[in-house]
Copies of this chain bind each other. A is one copy, B any other.
Amino acid sequence: MSTSTTTALEPDSARAGYDRDRAVRVAVLGVGMMGQDHARRLATLTAGAELVAVSDVDAARTDAVAAEFGVRAIHDPKAAILDPEVDAIVIATPGFTHEDLVLVALEAGKPVLCEKPLTTSPETSRRIVEAEAALGRPLVQVGFMRRFDAGYQQLRGLVESGEYGRTLFLHCAHRNATTPPNFSSEMLVLDSVVHEVDIARYLTGEEIVAIRVIAPRSTSAAPEGLRDPQFVIMETESGILVDVEIFVNTTFGYEVRTELVAEKGQARIGLPEGMVTQSGQGWGGSIPKDFKERFGAAYDVEFQRWIDAVRSGANVDGPGVWDGYAAAAVCAAGVESLRTGERVEIDLGVKP
């Protein structure tokens, strides 16, 4: 939990067991809402981590966040990656910057936790897959935090147990109260459904081979021109059907529910939890207001396990670059389907 060394961790050194003598020194790139949350997490919650620097294209914001946490402000993100006192990097910058930053980190041999999407196109994600493969060892984890949510882990445990036979359907609902300005119809797929894409792969252990996106009539609450909600139907290799209601202007709360239907049973997660009240309003409870409330604990676990993996030399303990690439490929096909109305097939090519 403590360290006085000032040289970067040697990620390929053989390590026996848990190294208690050094903390992992982390730089967070991008300190918007998400990056700030991660900086706070690393500074106050993650055992074995030490937040040492933050970096953002907005220099004033960089300085302010650095001051808040008492760490260095490094205005050039690539300089932050290469800094000798930085052992590992969290990337929380906008998606279009990911490719460059991840490639720099790969070249520097430093572990990365990259927020989703890995990159914004299948082609660029594929390049990262190839670059890491050339390196010969995993360095990049992708921030699909749902895999660290207790509910999804229970669902996967159930699938793996084989108790209910083969999976037949996944029915998913993914709902947000509102969208930020400039949220486009494609972003419902690229930004939101991408989580269901990863979860469908995680739960079924299969690749997705086809996708169809249907845009029914939009809600009055959607900004002019936004196709919201949408309905997505995916097929996996063995023929499991995955449907997703994606609805991002529900006007209230945040809700992610998944129901798995198998041959001999079903299971649901994401149902309302917590205190149940009764009053003149009826009985019931509250709905998480945003993804931080719903998945905050999953992020905490994700970060702790990632830091543990970095300390152990494994570097990755969760979804990797292939998962990031597959998600990008499925979502790109989804955007095509949204435009054409047709079912679109997906071919990932050979995994290196």
A271 & B276 in contact (Cβ 8 Å cutoff): yes
Task: List CB contacts (< 8 Å) of A1-40 with chain B.
Answer: 1-4, 17-18, 20-23
A214 CB-CB contact with B under 8 Å: yes
- A residues adjacent to B (C-beta < 8 A): 1-4, 17-18, 20-23, 43-51, 70, 150-151, 154-155, 158, 163-166, 168-169, 171, 173, 214, 216-217, 219-221, 229, 231, 233, 235, 238-241, 243, 245, 247, 250-253, 255, 261, 263-269, 271-287, 297, 304, 308
Contacts of A46 in B (CB 8 A): 47
Q: Which residue of B lies closest to A279 (CB)?
A: B265
Contacts of A168 in B (CB 8 A): 216-217, 219, 229, 247
Contacts of A308 in B (CB 8 A): 44
Question: What is the bound-complex CA distance between A279 and B280, given in angstroms?
Answer: 16
B286 & A278 in contact (Cβ 8 Å cutoff): no
Contacts of A48 in B (CB 8 A): 1, 44
B50 & A2 in contact (Cβ 8 Å cutoff): yes
The 6 nearest A-B residue pairs measured at CB: A284-B284, A265-B279, A217-B239, A2-B2, A252-B280, A216-B241
Contacts of A250 in B (CB 8 A): 264-266
Contacts of A70 in B (CB 8 A): 17-18, 20
Question: What is the bound-complex CA distance between A293 and B17, given in angstroms?
Answer: 26
A263 & B23 in contact (Cβ 8 Å cutoff): no
Contacts of A269 in B (CB 8 A): 274-276
Question: What is the bound-complex CA distance between A12 and B250, given in angstroms?
Answer: 50
Given contacts A44-B308, A273-B273, contact A280 B267 (CB under 8 A): no
List 11 A-B residue pairs with CB atoms under 8 Å apart, sorted by A's residue number.
A1-B48, A2-B4, A158-B277, A164-B277, A165-B220, A168-B229, A171-B171, A229-B261, A250-B266, A253-B278, A265-B277
Contacts of A4 in B (CB 8 A): 2, 4
CB proximity of A347 to chain B, nearest CB, Å: 20
Question: What is the bound-complex CA distance between A304 and B1, given in angstroms?
Answer: 13
CB proximity of A218 to chain B, nearest CB, Å: 8
Given contacts A50-B2, A286-B282, contact A267 B272 (CB under 8 A): no
